[in-house]
Amino acid sequence: MMKAAFYCFSATGNTKRICGLFVDELKKSGYETEYFAIRQGATYAPPSDFDLVFVAYPVHGFSAPRIMTDFAKALPASDGQSYYIVKTSGEPLEANNDSSAVLMRNMAAKGYTCKGEFHYVMPYNMLFRHSDAMVALMWRAAKNTVPADAVIAASGGEKMPEKSSRARMIRRALAFEHGGMRILGKFFRVDRKKCVSCGMCVKLCPFGNITMDESGRVKFGNKCMGCTACSFHCPQNAINIGAMNRFKVNGAYKFSDDITGFTAEDVCDYCHDAYLRYFEAHGIKLPAGGDKE
């Protein structure tokens, strides 16, 4: 039996959810799959153990998260093994097309060859909370598209996005986020009146940046990369993420496959037209507002 590996970082679970769709499709093609959650200091089976390799991540500031570029640097050398990128973002903007540049460069330095990028829009963990209707549309779009993308990967095909100079400029302009979060993360705080010392934030932090003392007091170090897994999953919404707190999203989304009755009016005003184009390109043609039955 052929074997496929997913090396994935997923703070809120969105990217892992997409990988799950791929797993289901690859099984139909005779693949046995293995999922590796990327964390600092963790060890993984090498890509050479697998016939098909995926590197998966959520876009952070139009780039791959620091933990993924570090992961690529730490990989064993290869003689040209191919891989595919699976990535998620909160908006369907062309600026996301160049997000893998540093990751791919680090992979290439180790001898790996990227044959394709598969990009899916999933709900934000920062900026604002998407409605249940938007989440359902995103999930349906992914389910419509992953089967064909999985066939491309299983057959060794290629699928690369067009990468404009504008996308490259935006990625470079926001590159400060990777280093800046080390500073901003030190100002995260926990509301002791809300906190129940469950340790969820400590467990979820991929960099081991959060610690809890014997009294249950939480402390944030200087290794934060801004994934917000801690604040998103906090069951008491007790974490203040400093300068970014006004953009915080707390709590898991409800994923539904039912888009019955949804119209273009259900699509958020932010990037409204871009979302409509994305949904249509992924098999969802929404009626105009007022056409609900």
- Verify that 201 and 93 share a domain, yes or no: no
Q: Examine residue 241 and state whether it is found in any structural domain, yes or no.
A: yes
- 56 exposed, middle or buried (CB, 10 Å; 0-12, 13-18, 19+)? buried
42 SS3 class: coil
- Verify that 65 and 110 share a domain, yes or no: yes
Q: Which residues of the chain have pLDDT under 50?
A: 290-293
Cβ density class 78-91: b for 16+ within 10 Å, e for less: beebbbbbbbbbbb
CATH code of the domain in which 38 resides: 3.40.50.360
Q: Examine residue 292 and state whether it is found in any structural domain, yes or no.
A: no
Phi, psi of 57 (to 5 degrees): -160, 160
- Verify that 63 and 43 share a domain, yes or no: yes
pLDDT of res. 292:
37
Q: Tell me how many domains the chain contains.
A: 2
- Verify that 144 and 230 share a domain, yes or no: no
pLDDT of res. 163:
86
Q: Where in the sequence is the domain holding 224, given as residue range(s)?
A: 180-247
Q: Examine residue 212 and state whether it is found in any structural domain, yes or no.
A: yes
The full 3-state SS of 142-183, as one line of letters, equals HHHHHHHHHHHHHCCCCECCCCCHHHHHHHHHCCHHHHHHHH
pLDDT of res. 164:
85
- Verify that 130 and 224 share a domain, yes or no: no
Q: Examine residue 106 and state whether it is found in any structural domain, yes or no.
A: yes
pLDDT of res. 1:
86
- Verify that 216 and 243 share a domain, yes or no: yes
CA distance 264 to 274: 12
- Verify that 70 and 194 share a domain, yes or no: no
- Verify that 82 and 197 share a domain, yes or no: no
CATH code of the domain in which 225 resides: 3.30.70.20
